[in-house]
Structure 1
Amino acid sequence: MYEEQGSLKHSIGYRMEYLLTLPETIDDPYLHVFLHGYSRIESQSPPVFYRRKWAESLNAPCLFLSDPVHRFSRKSACGWFLLGYDEIKHEVISLRNAIVKRLGIEGTVWHGPSSGGYAAVRLCMESGTGDLAFTVAPHNDPTNVPQWDEEISHISQASQLSAPIPLVNLAEKWSEVPDRLLYCLISEKDAHFAHKHLKPLLHGYNEFENVRAVVLRNGLGHGFISDADYSAQLESARQEWGCHRARTGTAIAGGDSL
C-alpha cells in the first residue's frame, strides 16, 4: 500500500491535511474521497481520517480529508469544512483532478457522514463532473443542528469562514450536471435529522431524478452504520449511479460494481 500525506494550505495559514492511499493493485475505477463528521476531540488527535481502515477493502485509490478546524481550535469537534472553504475548495478539486489524471481513472465517490456529508455534497457540486455523493445522514443546514451555537463559537471570529449555505439553496447548482447522483442513508432511529435535514433536502431536490434516500432498519441512531451495511449500500449506490449515467449517456465502462 502506497501512502502520501500532505496538506492543502490556505493563503492565511489554515491547513487541510490529507492522506492519499493507493493499493498495489487497483480493482476499482473510481477515486474515493472521505470527509469526516463530528470528531470526539477528547480521544482523537488531528488529522482525522474517516473510515481509514475500512477503506482498505475497496482496493481503490482513496483520499482522506481532515477539517482545518481541528488545527485552528482544539475545542471544536465539528466545523463542516467551512474554515477557509471558499479558497481551499479549489485546492481540493485540483488535487482530485491531478490524482484522477495521474491514475487514468474516471469518476469520484465523495463520502461523508453528518457534517461531513454536507461537505461531501458541496464538493461533489464543485467538481463540475458527474460524481457520486454517498452520504450518511447529511446535514442540510448547519445552523439547524443542536451543536451549531457551541461549535461555531470556537471559530466565529476566524477570517474567511464560509457561509453555511443550506444544501436546498444550492439545488440549481446541483442540477447543472445531470449525471451526478446523491445517495443518502439514514438510520431508523435518527428521527431528528430525518425530519430537520433529510426531509427538506429531498423536498428541495424532488424535481431531480438523481437523488436517492434509504432508511436502514438497523435499530441505530444518528450517523451510526455497520461496516456491512455501509459496504452493501455503497454497492447499491454504485449500481444506481451506473444506471443513471447510462440513462444520461455518460456511463463508465466497467464501473457498475465493486
Structure 2
Amino acid sequence: MEYDLTVIIPVFNEEENLERVKNEMESFLKLAKKKSKVLFVNDGSQDNSLLIIKKICKETQGFTFISFDKNYGLSPAIKAGFDFADTKLVGYIDADLQTSPMDFNILLKYADEFQLVTGVRSNRKDSFTKNMSSKIANGIRRAFTHDGMDDTGCPLKIIHTEYAKRIPMFKGLHRFLPAMILLQNGKVKQIPVQHFERIAGKSKFHLWNRLLGPLSDCFAYLWMKKKYINYKVAEKKL
C-alpha cells in the first residue's frame, strides 16, 4: 500500500497512554487528508510499552515500530524515525497526546508549499512554571537561530522527508527542527493547534533541562551552522 505520510511517535515508559494513542491515531488515519501510517520508536522503555506496541502493530493496519536497545533520548528517537521513514512526508507527535492527531490535517494544508509546518500550542494547559520556562527557552533559541518560531517545542510537526533525512544528529535536535530546515533553504510555517492536559504518565522534562539544555544546545547549533554543508546538483548522469 502506498503511503504519503509517516507519523513518528517516540515512546519512553508510556504504557498508560498507548491504548488511547492507538484509538486516536486510528481515528486520524481514517480521516487523514493524505494516506498515513504510524511509526512507533520505542526509546528503551522500562515498563510494558514495547509489549503493548507489538500487540498494536500486530493487530492494527498501518502501525509499525522500531525499538532501541536502550534509552537514548527524544532527539535520537525522532532522528531514527526520520531515517526509517519511506514516505514523502514525515510527521511527529508525542505519546502523551497533549496535542491532537486530528490537527495534522490543519498542517497538511500547507505541506506542499512549506518544507516544515509546525504547530503552536494555543491556550496551553501546562503549569505556570512549565509555560514560563518554555517561553524563556524559546526566547533564548530565537536569539541564536533567528528562526522566527514561537514554539519549537510543540510536538506536532510535518516535514518533507528528504529535508528531514539531511538533518545532522545531535542531542537537543528536536528544539531546532525549523532552524535546520532554514539552513537547507527550505520554507517553514507555524499554525495554531489545540493543547490538552497530560492525563496519564509522567513528563520527561523539568525546569532545568528546559532552560539549561536549550542554552547549551544553542552553542552547538552555532558551531554546526558554521560548518554546515549545503549544495544543489544542477546536472547529473548516473
> Same fold by TM (over 0.5)?
no
- Whichever structure has more helix as a proportion of its residues is 2
| Larger RCO, structures 1/2 (Cα 8 Å, 6+ apart) | 2
TM-score per shorter chain, which class?
0.3 to 0.5
